[in-house]
Amino acid sequence: MNEKLRVLFLCTGNSCRSQMAEGWARHLKSDVIEPFSAGIEKHGLNPDAVAVMAETGVDISGHRSKTISELAGVTFDYVVTVCGDAHETCPMFPGKARIVHVGFDDPPRLAKTTRSKEEALGHYRRVRDEIRTFVETLPDSLNDREWRATTVPED
């Protein structure tokens, strides 16, 4: 029996994209992936991300925003950075962790320029669906050269 891959979805504030990715991975891939999410810093769980995930039957309301340091001691097989800031400031992960960058638009930033709540939620829904499409390809796509995975050297 193969062990599940430990995958960390990393974003700046662990409030939206990384939370949605963890939710999708738990919902769709829990047989092969043990998902985690964290941020470079904590921004709190975004209620609009919770709402649009609930629309699909995925409940992330019990998640909490956390930093990488709160996952100390967990050895990851993959770290998937889901935003540019996390990719640029991604810390080193010792061991066999491979860093994979798959950037998604930032729904809260996009929502700031909208005229209605429904228009704002449209950005969240689009990104939610793009993240789902990516998660559906896991774990096979993690080895795809197109994602430009890099191995982090051991100490």
pLDDT per position as a tens digit, 99-143? 888 989 999 999 999 999 999 999 999 999 999 999 999 999 887
Q: Is the pLDDT confidence value at 154 over 50?
A: no
Whole-prediction pTM: 0.88
Q: What is the pLDDT of residue 152?
A: 36
Number of structural domains in the chain: 1
11 a catalytic residue: yes
7, 11, 100, 131: the catalytic one is 11
Q: Which of 36, 48, 40 is nearest to 109 (CA)?
A: 48
**Residues 79 and 95 sit within 8 Å (Cβ to Cβ):** no
Q: How many CB atoms lie within 10 A of CB 102?
A: 22
Give a yes or no: residue 110 inside a domain: yes
User: Position 118: which residue type?
Assistant: E
Q: How many CB atoms lie within 10 A of CB 129?
A: 14
32, 71, 90, 149: the catalytic one is 90
90 a catalytic residue: yes
Q: Which CATH number does the domain housing residue 51 bear?
A: 3.40.50.2300
16 a catalytic residue: no
pLDDT per position as a tens digit, 11-69? 988 999 999 999 999 999 999 999 999 998 899 999 999 999 999 999 999 999 999 99
Write out the residue range of the structural domain in which residue 108 sits: 5-149
